[in-house]
């Protein structure tokens, strides 16, 4: 039986970030898949470069951004000012919706502005009420509610008020009105960087200080003996002093034999990556679609980062958690996605020359009041046993890749103190 001071479950960004910080220590990362990276992986096919989904990196901390770029000395990295749009009617308006209601048809604009000014003053108790209290009925009903319902694939009234935290593009009434004359659509992802080789270049950079025996792929964890501090995979057992989990929190509970009275839920996202023989919309990085009759909630354009004569896009479809999608169901979604791309004017005669699909499950976690309380309680219980759970899925939260890196490094520093 192998023994390690630090054992990490999951070689996504969070797992690699903490292992990187502990690289000079006795640390080992167990990854269930054949390839490291989690959802931060890249597919290359017929000259197209796609990620598992849109992974455009937004950094607030220039030191982290600079460090990762330095670890990719032979990789071209684009620094981009985001251009994002919303499909409305037969045209596109600027994102975020609430700051650009003046671009709507007259009656829609009046209704949104009226609802904004005379919005409810009550204290919201869930995510849907927060939207109504913050922005009024007009804005909520036209975009914020239908879009987020497509994204999360759940009743928005079940989500916590702060389900998206700092990532929600908040704006008060004065900011919205000021935007009528002086456009300012900046928010947390106004600028991003992206390597020509795709998101996986960040994974390679983050793992560059780790040796081959510090990352073990194809080692899915099936059981954790909390008392004896033993992790069992399909092929072997490991002893640990400290265990760091980055796999989905409900999976950790199951592996540890810990029961919870709370149902942890999430959506799943079906992603189609499509490559076409010629360009589509130029200069746009992604577009949001709130309309229920359109199957996808967002599409993004890789070919508008590094200019290309061929259109390269990702298409995201939000679905409830549930049974595995069958091949026939995936074919139906694929045909609907291609049909809707033609309907909204993205496709105008281009020929599909390459494609790929995947299902992210879980994708966006459903943060509820109950899940927040229960996650905090159980994380404290497990931490007392030297088991720490971090990251978007390990922490069962909404966060960025940068947040994952910062959280992982902070924990590593505490563990080494």
pLDDT of the residue at 169: 84
Asked if residue 200 lies in contact with residue 140, where contact means CB atoms within 8 angstroms, the answer is no
pLDDT of the residue at 256: 98
Label residues 76-107 b or e (16+ Cβ within 10 Å = b). ebeeeebbbbbbbeeebbbbbbbbbbbbbeee
CB neighbours (10 Å) of residue 201? 22
Q: Which residues pair with 42 in a beta bridge?
A: 51
Which architecture, in CATH terms, is 267-360?
A: 2-Layer Sandwich (3.30)
Q: Which residues pair with 215 in a beta bridge?
A: 29
pLDDT of the residue at 188: 56
pTM of the model: 0.95
Q: At which residue do the structure tokens 């499509």 appear?
A: 274
pLDDT of the residue at 187: 63
pLDDT of the residue at 417: 82
Asked if residue 348 lies in contact with residue 279, where contact means CB atoms within 8 angstroms, the answer is no
For 96-178, give the CATH class.
mainly alpha
Q: Taking the chain (417 residues) in consecutive chunks of 10 residues, what is each chunk's mean pLDDT?
A: 96 97 97 96 96 83 92 90 94 95 96 96 95 96 97 96 86 90 72 91 95 96 98 96 98 97 94 97 96 97 94 97 92 98 97 97 95 97 98 95 95 93
pLDDT of the residue at 186: 67
pLDDT of the residue at 194: 92
Q: How far, CA to CA in Å, does 140 sit from each of 120, 189, 245?
A: 12, 22, 37
Q: Which 3 state secondary structure label does DSSP give 333?
A: helix
Task: Give strand ranges (E) for 226-376.
Answer: 230-233, 237-245, 267-276, 286-288, 298-301, 312-320, 352-360
What is the residue extent of each domain of the chain?
2-41+198-264+367-416, 96-178, 267-360
pLDDT of the residue at 262: 93
Q: 2-41+198-264+367-416, what's its fold?
A: FAD/NAD(P)-binding domain (3.50.50)
CB neighbours (10 Å) of residue 227? 7
pLDDT of the residue at 199: 92
């Amino acid at each position: 039986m192998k023994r390690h001071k630090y054992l990490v479950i999951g070689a996504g960004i969070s797992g690699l970030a903490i292992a990187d910080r502990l690289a000079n220590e006795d640390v080992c990362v167990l990854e269930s898949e054949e390839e490291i990276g989690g959802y931060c992986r890249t597919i290359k096919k017929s000259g197209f470069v796609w990620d598992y989904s849109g992974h455009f990196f937004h950094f607030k901390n220039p030191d982290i951004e600079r460090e990762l770029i330095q670890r990719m000395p032979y990789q071209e990295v684009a620094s981009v000012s985001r251009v994002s749009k919303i499909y409305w009617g037969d045209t596109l308006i600027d994102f975020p919706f609430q700051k650009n209601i003046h671009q709507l048809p007259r009656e829609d604009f009046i209704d949104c502005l009226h609802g904004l000014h005379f919005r409810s003053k009550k204290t919201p108790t869930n995510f849907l009420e927060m939207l109504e209290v913050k922005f009024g009925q007009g804005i909520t009903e036209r975009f914020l509610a239908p879009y987020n319902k497509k994204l999360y694939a759940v009743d928005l009234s079940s989500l916590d008020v702060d389900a998206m935290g700092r990532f929600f593009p908040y704006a008060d009434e004065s900011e919205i009105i000021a935007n009528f004359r002086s456009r300012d659509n900046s928010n947390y992802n106004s600028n991003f960087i992206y390597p020509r080789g795709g998101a996986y270049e960040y994974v390679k950079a983050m793992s560059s200080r780790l040796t081959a025996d510090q990352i073990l792929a194809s080692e899915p964890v099936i059981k954790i003996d909390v008392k004896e501090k033993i992790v069992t995979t399909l092929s072997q057992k490991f002893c640990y002093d400290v265990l760091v989990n980055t796999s989905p929190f409900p999976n950790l509970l199951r592996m540890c034999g810990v029961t919870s009275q709370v149902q942890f839920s999430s959506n799943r996202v079906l992603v189609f990556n499509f490559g076409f023989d010629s360009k589509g919309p130029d200069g746009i990085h992604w577009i949001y679609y709130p309309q229920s009759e359109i199957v996808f909630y967002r599409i993004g354009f890789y070919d508008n980062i590094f200019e290309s004569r061929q259109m390269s896009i990702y298409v995201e479809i939000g679905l409830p958690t549930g049974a595995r999608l069958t091949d026939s169901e995936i074919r139906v979604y694929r045909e609907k996605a291609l049909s809707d791309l033609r309907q909204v004017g993205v496709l105008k005669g281009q020929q599909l020359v390459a494609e790929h699909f995947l299902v992210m499950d879980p994708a966006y976690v459903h943060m509820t009041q109950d899940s927040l309380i229960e996650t905090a309680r159980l994380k404290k219980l497990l931490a007392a046993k030297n088991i720490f759970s971090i990251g978007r899925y390990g922490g069962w939260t909404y966060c960025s890749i940068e947040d994952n890196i910062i959280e992982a490094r902070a924990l590593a520093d505490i563990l080494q103190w």
